[in-house]
C-alpha cells in the first residue's frame, strides 16, 4: 500500500465541489455521468475526484474445453464457426467461468459465486444469454461497455471484483468474438441473480465513476513494434485476458492497482499472497528455468519449486491449462522480460529454503493422536505435524517419490517472505484439477472433514514447519491465523471509508450552510 495524495481545492472550485458532493450523497443521476466524464479532464478532473474520494468512495467450476486457435490476434474470421471457437477460447483465457459459476450449483456462467472482498461479499452475475436474468438482451455495445468500462446495460456500475480495468485493454476483435460466443455458444440458464448488498458507502454504485476516473486508464491493446510477436502476445495475455495484475500487483490506499515498477511485484490477496512475477532471482521468478515456468502454468506443480493453491489453483484449473503451448510460451517470454523488483531482506530464492529433516524418535509419536479426535491443549507443533501431516508429506518432509504429495522444503509456501500461503493451505486446503486428475489436500480449518484445528494449533503447526523445513525467520501467532481465517487484513479503505464518508458529508453540509449564510448577509 502506498499513500494516495489528495489534491487541495481552490476557492473557485468550491461551488462545483458542493454540487458534486450533494449529487453523490443523494445519488448521481445516471444521465449526467457521460457529460461529467467529458468535462472532468486534466487537472480539474483530478481535483474534483480528490474530494469525491475523500468524502464518499466505493470499492473497489466447470470448464469449457478450449479450442486451439492461432497465437497472433489478426482480424477474427467472419465465419460463424471460427468466430464461435475464437470466442470460446477467449472466454477460457479470460477465466470467466471461475467467477461466474457457483461451485454449488455447477451451472456454468449462471453466476452466484460469492467473492469475498474486503468491502463485503460480491456475488457474480448470470452472463448466459437468458433474457430474464442474463445478458440475452444486451447489444454488442452494451456488452462492450460492461466488459471494458464496468457499466451494465441499465447504466449501473459494476464493482472492480469484475476485472474490467484489465479487460479494458481487449481488442475490438476479441470483444466481438466474446459477445458472439456468449450470445450464440452458451446455453441460457434461467437462474436469478443473487443480490450484492455492501455496507455504506460501498453500496453507492454511482460513486464508482469517480474511482474509474482514477484507475480505469487502459486503452485497447496496441503491440509494441520494437518487440517480438511472442512478447506482445504474452503482454496481452498477462495484462489483459488473464488479468494477472489484479492479483499479483499491489494496491494503493484506494484499492487501485499500482503502476510502474510495482506491477506484478507481488501482493496480498485476502488470506493468500500472490507472489512476485518479476525477473528478480531472489524475490521473483528469475531463478526459474523457462521449462519450469511453462510446466507450472500448465499443471500448477513443479517439484522443488511450487504448487498452485487458492486463486492460482482456480486459474490453472479453469484457464491456464487449456491455453495453447504457444500462448503459454508467450506468457513466459513476457514475464521473463519484466524488470526485477526485489523485496528487502530476502537472502535467497523462496524455493531454496530447507532440507530433509531427520527426526529420530518420531516413529513412536506418529499416530498416537488419532485423526478426528480431540487434540490436547498442550500439544506441540511437532506432535501436530506427526498427527496431521506426516502420513502424506513424510516424517522427513520429503513428500512422496512421485511428487504427488510435495516436499515441504524447497517449496515457496514454506520458504516465502510471508507465512500467508502455508497458513491458508492448512486452513482451506488445496484443490486443483489438471487433465481430469484432481489434486486434493484436505482443509484443517473450522468445519474440516478430517481434523479441525483451532487458531493456536494452526500457529504451532505452521511455526514448526517453517523452522523444520522452510524459512526459519517466518512465524505466526494465533491472532495472525485468525486474521487469515477471516479473509486477511482489512485494507485502509475498508476500515475507514464509512467514517470518512460521514465526516465528508458533514463537511459538505457545513460548507453549504456557510455559503447560504454568506449569501444571505450580502443581500442585507
Per-residue pLDDT reduced to its tens digit, 209-256:
888 999 998 899 999 999 999 999 999 999 999 999 999 999 998 889
* 156 contacts 205 by C-beta, under 8 angstroms: yes
Residue 308 C-alpha cell reads as 498452485
For 360, phi then psi, to 5°, come to -60, 135
pLDDT for the residue 347: 80
From first CA to last CA, the distance across the chain in angstroms is 51
Q: Helix, strand or coil for residue 117?
A: strand
pLDDT for the residue 244: 98
Alpha carbons 50 and 40: distance in angstroms, whole number = 12
> Per-residue confidence at 61, pLDDT binned at 50, 70, 90?
very low
Which stretches does DSSP call E strand in 339-388? none
High-pLDDT (> 70) share of the chain, %: 78
Structure confidence by residue, pLDDT tens digits, 92-116: 999 999 999 998 899 999 999 999 8
Number of other residues whose CB lies within 10 A of the CB of residue 403: 13
What's the Cα-to-Cα distance from 140 to each of 85, 126, 178, 182, 415, rounded to whole Å?
18, 17, 10, 11, 47
User: Is the pTM of the predicted complex or chain greater than 0.85?
Assistant: no
Q: Which of 28-32, 354-358, 462-466 has the highest mean pLDDT?
A: 462-466
Looking at domain 356-485, which of 1.10.760.10, 1.10.287.1080, 3.90.850.10, 3.40.50.1820 is its CATH number?
1.10.760.10
Ligand-binding site membership of 410 (annotated): no
pLDDT for the residue 497: 61
Over 60: is that where the pLDDT of 162 sits? yes
Over 90: is that where the pLDDT of 19 sits? no
Structure confidence by residue, pLDDT tens digits, 67-88: 333 333 444 445 789 999 999 9
102-109 long-range contacts (CB < 8 A, ≥24 apart) are 103/61, 105/191, 106/61, 106/62, 107/189, 107/191, 108/62, 108/64, 108/186, 108/189, 109/134, 109/182, 109/186, 109/189
> Per-residue confidence at 369, pLDDT binned at 50, 70, 90?
low
Over 70: is that where the pLDDT of 53 sits? no
pLDDT for the residue 36: 34
pLDDT for the residue 389: 96
Over 60: is that where the pLDDT of 60 sits? no
Ligand-binding site membership of 52 (annotated): no
Ligand-binding site membership of 393 (annotated): yes
Q: What's the rounded mean pLDDT across residues 352-375?
A: 58
Over 80: is that where the pLDDT of 425 sits? yes
Alpha carbons 184 and 500: distance in angstroms, whole number = 46
Over 90: is that where the pLDDT of 66 sits? no
Q: Nearest CA to 135 among 121, 145, 122?
A: 145
Ligand-binding site membership of 289 (annotated): no
pLDDT for the residue 364: 41
Residue 477 C-alpha cell reads as 501467532
pLDDT for the residue 206: 83
Q: Nearest CA to 403 among 324, 296, 316, 321?
A: 296
Close Cβ partners of 238 (under 8 Å, ≥ 6 residues apart): 244, 245, 264, 331, 334, 335
pLDDT for the residue 371: 59
Ligand-binding site membership of 99 (annotated): yes
Ligand-binding site membership of 72 (annotated): no
Number of other residues whose CB lies within 10 A of the CB of residue 399: 19
* 7-21, 255-269, 301-315: range with lowest mean pLDDT: 7-21
Ligand-binding site membership of 248 (annotated): yes
Domain borders along the chain are 11-56+505-523, 80-215, 356-485
Amino acid at each position: 500500500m502506498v499513500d494516495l495524495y489528495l489534491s487541495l481545492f481552490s476557492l473557485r472550485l468550491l461551488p462545483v465541489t458542493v454540487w458534486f458532493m450533494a449529487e453523490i450523497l443523494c445519488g448521481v443521476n445516471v444521465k449526467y455521468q457521460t457529460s461529467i466524464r467529458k468535462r472532468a479532464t486534466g487537472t480539474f478532473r483530478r481535483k474534483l475526484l480528490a474530494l469525491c474520494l475523500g468524502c464518499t468512495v466505493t470499492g473497489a467450476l466447470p470448464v469449457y474445453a478450449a479450442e486451439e486457435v492461432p497465437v497472433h490476434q489478426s482480424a477474427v474470421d467472419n465465419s460463424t464457426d471460427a468466430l464461435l471457437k475464437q470466442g470460446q477460447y477467449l472466454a477460457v483465457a479470460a477465466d470467466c467461468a471461475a467467477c461466474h459459476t457457483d461451485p454449488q450449483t455447477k451451472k456454468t456462467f449462471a453466476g452466484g459465486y460469492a467473492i469475498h472482498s474486503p468491502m463485503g461479499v460480491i456475488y457474480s452475475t448470470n452472463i448466459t444469454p437468458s433474457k430474464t436474468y442474463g445478458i440475452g438482451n444486451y447489444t454488442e455495445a452494451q456488452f462492450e461497455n460492461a466488459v471494458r468500462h464496468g457499466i451494465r446495460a441499465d447504466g449501473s456500475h459494476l464493482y472492480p471484483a469484475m476485472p474490467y480495468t484489465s479487460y479494458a485493454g481487449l481488442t475490438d476483435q476479441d470483444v466481438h468474438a466474446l459477445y458472439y460466443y456468449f450470445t450464440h455458444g452458451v446455453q441460457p440458464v434461467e437462474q436469478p441473480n443473487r443480490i450484492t448488498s455492501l455496507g455504506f458507502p460501498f453500496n453507492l454504485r454511482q460513486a464508482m465513476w469517480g474511482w474509474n476516473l482514477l484507475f480505469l486508464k487502459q486503452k485497447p491493446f496496441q503491440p509494441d513494434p520494437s518487440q517480438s510477436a511472442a512478447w506482445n502476445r504474452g503482454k496481452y495475455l498477462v495484462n489483459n485476458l488473464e488479468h494477472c495484475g489484479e492479483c499479483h500487483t499491489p494496491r494503493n490506499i484506494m484499492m487501485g492497482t499500482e503502476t510502474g515498477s510495482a506491477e506484478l511485484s507481488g501482493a496480498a490477496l485476502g488470506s493468500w499472497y500472490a507472489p512476485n512475477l518479476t525477473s528478480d532471482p531472489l524475490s521473483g521468478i528469475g531463478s526459474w528455468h523457462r521449462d519450469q515456468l511453462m510446466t507450472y502454468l500448465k499443471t500448477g506443480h513443479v517439484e522443488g519449486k511450487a504448487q498452485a493453491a487458492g486463486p492460482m489453483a482456480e486459474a490453472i484449473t479453469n484457464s491456464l491449462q487449456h491455453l495453447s503451448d504457444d500462448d503459454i510460451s508467450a506468457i513466459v517470454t513476457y514475464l521473463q522480460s519484466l524488470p526485477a523488483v526485489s523485496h528487502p531482506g530476502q537472502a535467497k530464492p523462496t524455493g531454496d529454503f530447507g532440507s530433509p529433516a531427520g527426526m529420530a524418535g518420531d516413529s513412536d509419536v506418529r499416530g498416537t493422536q488419532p485423526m478426528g479426535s480431540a487434540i490436547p491443549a498442550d500439544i506441540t507443533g511437532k506432535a501436530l505435524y506427526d498427527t496431521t501431516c506426516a502420513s502424506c508429506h513424510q516424517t522427513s518432509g520429503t513428500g512422496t517419490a512421485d511428487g504427488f504429495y510435495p516436499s515441504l522444503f524447497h517449496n515457496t509456501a514454506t520458504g516465502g517472505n510471508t507465512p500467508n500461503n502455508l497458513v491458508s493451505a492448512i486452513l482451506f486446503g488445496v484443490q486443483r484439477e489438471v487433465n481430469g486428475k484432481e489434486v486434493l489436500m484436505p482443509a484443517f480449518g473450522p468445519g474440516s472433514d478430517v481434523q479441525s484445528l483451532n487458531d493456536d494449533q494452526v500457529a504451532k503447526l505452521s511455526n514448526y514447519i517453517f523452522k523444520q523445513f522452510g524459512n526459519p525467520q517466518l512465524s505466526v501467532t494465533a491472532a495472525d491465523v485468525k486474521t487469515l481465517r477471516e479473509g486477511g487484513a482489512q485494507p485502509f479503505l475498508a476500515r475507514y471509508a464509512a467514517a470518512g464518508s460521514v465526516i465528508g458529508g458533514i463537511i459538505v453540509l457545513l460548507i453549504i450552510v456557510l455559503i447560504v449564510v454568506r449569501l444571505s448577509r450580502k443581500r442585507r
